[in-house]
Structure 1
Amino acid sequence: MRDDGGAAPAGPAEPAAPEAEEVDTPAGPARVTWHRAARPRLVLALGHGAGGGVEARDLRALAGTLPGHGVSVALVEQPWRVAGKRVAPAPGTLDAGWRAVWPVLAGEGLPVVSGGRSAGARVACRTAGELGAHAVLALAFPLHPPGRPERSRAGELLGTGVRTLVVQGGRDPFGRPAEFPKDAEVVEVPGGDHGFAVPRRGAGPDAQEAALAVITASVREWLERE
């Protein structure tokens, strides 16, 4: 309370505690962990890669930051991860799992930005048009297999039909920022590899936090234009 007896101005509303729910899919149960904003205007759905889960540093950073800026973040674990398997299934199975989860994401009644990292980014790109995604966020998009630039997946990235942002590590062996098509919107994370880890040698103690700050700030600014 203020000294004059009036109510103190309300500060920013605190995001809600994370909530997890399972969703049935043709490949088994998927899991959605919600990091909801107190007053959301968008939902950002993020899928994981083929070599890890939603504990990836970039996904955790976005889930921890964006709800404070009006964006609810839904971290989506594909059925193979929920089942404890180590090897991701074929792309078609990943797409089917994402499609099955989509009604839950859209059920918030808000525009849904479809996103993910690595293989999850490819899923988001391939399914954006049919699912009616508001936009696509592609983190560490695997433009090509390491050392095989001729096997480009640029068609998936450019075929979303909606605004698409790529956030890419400067030394990602699956495609460095300069390798992407000129008409792609790309943000570079200096020194970042495919997992956005930065080299420890020669870097300051805050280098990793600085790299994550590039990711969260660039995505937040991009979403503010949505």
Structure 2
Amino acid sequence: MLDRFLLQGPQDARFTILLAHGAGAPMDSASMTSTGNALAAVGFRVIRFEFAYMAARRTGGSKPPPRAETLNPEYEAAIAELGTSGPLIIGGKSMGGRVASMVADNLYRQQKIAGLLCLGYPFHPPDQPEKLRTAHLKELATPALICQGTRDEFGTRDQVPGYDLSSRIEILWLEDGDHDLKPRKTISGFSSADHLATMAKAVKAWAERLVV
């Protein structure tokens, strides 16, 4: 797990998805692994990577997450190091998706990526809905899919429709999902596996529309 990248899915997949982790959990967390498995199961080549502050924790460090925008160069460096051929979708879980969203347009204009995938986008900090992290999303040019739980404390279904977001952004709402897209089965009738399967199928259908 100390390798630069974690790879899943077929080598000859039409699309590669590069995913970064969230602020508090590594690239091999249970949530990231389950997400990668679900996407690989529908035919994506899924590659996960870790920011330096998180990698440092593996050797006993305890570095806190830096400001998201300071990680932009690391995300761009990961793309350059990866050097994939064929359509590339970038994104990530929570903060990882936010960082990807900040570098996406420059890469999209250079035709280096085909789209942006955010899993549980952190529209605002929990209990601080006034502190929106959406300014750059108003004019986003990159085709984007945000997969969001309806009760995600970083942006619920009641809150997000009121935000000024680019028409390039599509949102998949997962009923009763939390920030990890996990529902309460006794309330929603859905399991985590159900939501991940729905997410993966939706991502596949969306990706197929990106490249004709």
TM over 0.5: yes
Aligned to 1:217: 201
Aligned to 1:188: 173
Large movers: runs of 4+ above 4 Å: 200-204
User: Per the alignment, in what secondary structure is the counterpart of residue 122 of structure 2?
Assistant: coil
Checking the alignment, whether the CA contact within 8 Å between 2:176 and 2:188 is kept in structure 1 is no
Aligned to 2:105: 129
Measured after TM superposition, the shift of residue 202 of structure 1 is 4.3
Measured after TM superposition, the shift of residue 166 of structure 1 is 0.7
C-alpha separation between the residues in 2 aligned to 1:127 and 1:203?
A: 35
2:118 equivalent to 1:118: no
C-alpha separation between the residues in 2 aligned to 1:158 and 1:59?
A: 27
2:47 equivalent to 1:67: no
C-alpha separation between the residues in 2 aligned to 1:117 and 1:156?
A: 18
2:54 equivalent to 1:81: yes
C-alpha separation between the residues in 2 aligned to 1:42 and 1:86?
A: 33
Checking the alignment, whether the CA contact within 8 Å between 2:149 and 2:156 is kept in structure 1 is yes
Structure 1 stretch 40-49 or stretch 154-163: which is displaced more? 154-163
C-alpha separation between the residues in 1 aligned to 2:186 and 2:41?
A: 33
Q: 1:212 to 1:122 in 2, by over 3 A?
A: same
2:13 to 21, 40, 49: 40
Measured after TM superposition, the shift of residue 32 of structure 1 is 1.4
Q: Percent identity?
A: 28
RMSD: 2.3
User: Per the alignment, in what secondary structure is the counterpart of residue 146 of structure 2?
Assistant: strand
Measured after TM superposition, the shift of residue 208 of structure 1 is 2.2
Deviation string 1:70-126 (CA, Å, 9 cap, x unpaired) is 421111111111111352122233212111111123x12122111111111110100
Checking the alignment, whether the CA contact within 8 Å between 2:154 and 2:179 is kept in structure 1 is yes
Checking the alignment, whether the CA contact within 8 Å between 1:138 and 1:166 is kept in structure 2 is yes
Deviation string 1:120-174 (CA, Å, 9 cap, x unpaired) is 1110100012233311001100111122222212223334311011100110111
Checking the alignment, whether the CA contact within 8 Å between 2:16 and 2:45 is kept in structure 1 is yes
Number of residue pairs matched by the alignment: 197
Aligned to 2:72: 95
Measured after TM superposition, the shift of residue 61 of structure 1 is 3.1
C-alpha separation between the residues in 2 aligned to 1:203 and 1:188?
A: 13
1:173 to 153, 165, 168: 153
TM-score where L is the length of structure 2:
0.82
Q: Which runs of 5+ in 1 are unaligned?
A: 1-19, 23-30
Structure 1 stretch 94-103 or stretch 162-171: which is displaced more? 94-103
Q: Which runs of 5+ in 2 are unaligned?
A: none
User: Per the alignment, in what secondary structure is the counterpart of residue 219 of structure 1?
Assistant: helix
2:148 equivalent to 1:148: no
Aligned to 1:160: 140
C-alpha separation between the residues in 2 aligned to 1:79 and 1:146?
A: 25
